[in-house]
Amino acid sequence: MEFDFRKIEALVRKALEEDLGAGDITTDSLIQENALARGEFIGREEGIICGLPLIEPLFRLLDKDMQFKAALSDGDEVSPGETIGEIFGKARAMLCGERVALNFLQRLSGITTLARKFVRAVEEYPAKIYDTRKTTPLWRYLEKYAVKVGGGENHRFGLYDMVLIKDNHLRLLGRRGLKEHIRDLRKNLGAEVKIEIEAENLSDVTEAVSAGVDIIMLDNMSLDEMRQAVELVGKGVRKIAIEASGGVTLENVKRIAQTGVDRISVGALTHSAPALDISLEVEPIE
């Protein structure tokens, strides 16, 4: 997944506007307009860096001549005290953009760091780690980018790019005629659109296999139920991916991978990742 600043430029502009308002009254009152400065981004704890491609374009919205020189790349490990990159330009712009830049960098690096931990926990098994739609509003592109940098995979980006039949859909539809619903979906949407269905028990799994879906999501099932579901699906004629979902933690993710599931979706990657501690140290250029 290549980073594209154009996709989040409006968000960055809004973030700067939120912080700056009519202007930085502290900086504008104390710092000369033409003063130049050098800033150093420094890691304060161990983790994985993410978000560096947005630093220079963010600051250039404040100073078109701002330059950023990265010492690391997205996906690189950082140690406490290590330089992540340096920025050069007008001191006022640097101070005005400092907090917003760090907010993006710390948040994305935190997600990437957590994603890498999950990926490493299951690396000896075929199961892949997937994110969810449990993202910060308007940050989805960035947060899913951060998951990919950490070695994880992206689930659907939104309601528009994949069918996921969940419990609420089934309550409204009723389970009668599930095969017909799946058949109609394939006819209307085309074979390229993946169809996933949520299963709460083994009976649901059997029904989903019969309906011919592409992916079955095992919702909050026990490890024993997951193993049985893998066996049930394995007996099917067509290949169906099995996704484990619900209550996944770093403590249990390896045991889940051992059941033989293909995918493990983890909402915590984006809704509960702690920010990585990073600072920006600024000094004048004489």
Pull the structure tokens for residue 51. 């978000």
**DSSP type of residue 275:** P
Catalytically annotated residue among 38, 60, 133, 134? 134
Q: Where are the domains of the chain?
A: 5-119+273-285, 120-271
DSSP assignments along 227-239, one per residue: HHHHHHHHTSSS-
Q: Is 134 a catalytic residue?
A: yes
Q: Among all chains, which residue has been given the structure tokens 């502290």? A: 26
Q: Is 198 a catalytic residue?
A: yes
Q: Which fold has domain 5-119+273-285?
A: Aldehyde Oxidoreductase; domain 3 (3.90.1170)
Residues 6+ apart with CB under 8 A from 195: 162, 163, 165, 182, 185, 186, 213, 214, 215
For residue 234, the model assigns a pLDDT of: 86
> What is the value of pTM for the model shown?
0.95
Q: Is 186 a catalytic residue?
A: no
Q: Is 82 a catalytic residue?
A: no
CATH for 120-271 is 3.20.20.70
For residue 243, the model assigns a pLDDT of: 98
Catalytically annotated residue among 19, 219, 225, 277? 219
pLDDT tens digits, one per residue of 236-264: 655 899 999 999 999 999 999 999 999 99
Catalytically annotated residue among 198, 204, 243, 262? 198
For residue 171, the model assigns a pLDDT of: 87
Ranges of the chain with pLDDT below 50 = none
For residue 207, the model assigns a pLDDT of: 92
Catalytically annotated residue among 64, 166, 175, 255? 166
Catalytically annotated residue among 38, 44, 60, 99? 99
* Rounded Cα–Cα distance for residues 253 and 112 (Å): 17
For residue 178, the model assigns a pLDDT of: 86
pLDDT tens digits, one per residue of 117-128: 999 999 999 999
